[in-house]
Amino acid sequence: MTDFSETQQHPRTKADLMAANTALLAENQWMAELLAGVQNNGERKVDSKETNTDQHEEHQSESNVKTGEAPPKTERQRTNPFFEEIMNFKMPKNCTVPMTLTPYKRIGYPRVHVTKFESMMFLNSDSDPILCRSFLTFLDGVALLWFSNLPAGSITSFDEFAKMFINHFAASKIYVRDSDYLSTIKQGQHESLKDYMTCFTTAAMDILNLNPKVQLHAIKSGLRAGKFQEAIAVAKPKTLEEFRDKATRQIEIEELRETRRNKRLLSRKEKDKLYRSHNKDSKKPFKLTPKFDTYTRFNTRREDIIKEILRNKLIKPPSKAGTYKSKHCTFHQKFGHTTDECVVAKDLLERLAR
């Protein structure tokens, strides 16, 4: 503020008055814009509030530096994508969250994740606040980061939450085969109809919006050539239900045949086992018994006599002998026993002697 005496001593010039007038007009225009912003959307008020806050923090910081005190901690301002009614809703004590659902990170079909969650919460509650806050616990990784970056108060219902989630992660779904893949599934040469139906049905369940007529044509085309394929060609089922009925009866027939076949094989194995066991018990080691009570005593070894007989070809040696290779029989000319132990040779020489 300028002193009056100083003004009298130094009177203002015309240039000074013009500059002061210009500054006053600029200040009045700024005040008018500020009031207009407050009336329209409050944005100017926020800016002014932030400016005042920054100035207050700056003055407070300077004051703390002068006094040596630590600056006060400011709380972190967190924005919540849920609407105020959802956040203020008091969760019931008996509300249980399904624990078998794996949190969604980024990979996988988002619509399937939402459907699984809804089916698990079906008997629990259909309240939007409960569904929204429960579904949040099944987001992890990139999905949880996506949620935290949503605008404050942008989620007002679970349907809106699910739609935003599905649209954002639509490109992250795992590759799903189309109906053309079913034409590659063929029944193996030795594959049962039950195994073929299981394999085909499992693949068909992974295809979205599958046309039943396309599925029926593909499952009939994949049948192995045989009596059942011929029966289907004659019956010409027009729906999947008709085909499944005929396939169910055929599966029962195949299982009955398999049961009978297994029984026959089991019975045959038991018979073979019983037969081998009986032969093992009844089989006795073969042993020759002497035919004479007494034998002539020769002045030459029996082995030398047998050699002489064989050399002159008076008789032919027998064709059978034992398997012991530590003993050799001159008469049999094979291993198994010695000539002195050979009962056949002893009996032969005794007949010749008598």
CB atoms within 10 A of CB 181: 14
Residue 95 main-chain phi, psi, to 5 deg = -75, 125
pLDDT at 46: 39
pLDDT at 294: 78
Closest CA to 98 of 153, 142, 45, 135: 135
Q: How far apart are the first and last CA of the chain?
A: 169
The tens digit of pLDDT for each residue in 5-55 reads 444 444 556 566 666 666 666 665 655 555 455 444 444 343 444 445 555
Q: Which helix (H) or strand (E) holds 334?
A: strand 334-335
pLDDT at 244: 93
Rounded CA-CA distance 161/165 in Å is 6
pLDDT at 5: 43
Rounded CA-CA distance 79/279 in Å is 89
Topology of domain 179-280, per CATH? 1.10.1200
**What average pLDDT does the structure give for the chain?**
76
Domain layout of the chain by residue ranges: 4-66, 101-172, 179-280, 302-353
Rounded CA-CA distance 83/154 in Å is 6
Write the burial class of residue 142 (CB in 10 Å: 0-12 exposed, 13-18 middle, 19+ buried).
middle
- Give, in order, the Cα–Cα distances in Å from 109 to each of 55, 158, 167, 246: 50, 18, 11, 35
- Give, in order, the Cα–Cα distances in Å from 58 to each of 48, 52, 61: 15, 10, 5
Q: The dihedral of CA 330, 331, 333, 336: what is its sign?
A: negative
pLDDT at 3: 47
pLDDT at 324: 47
**% residues pLDDT > 70 (the chain):** 68
Residues in the chain where the model's pLDDT stays below 70: 1-79, 173-176, 278-288, 318-326, 331, 333-336
Residue 134 main-chain phi, psi, to 5 deg = -75, -40
pLDDT at 100: 81
Rounded CA-CA distance 172/113 in Å is 12
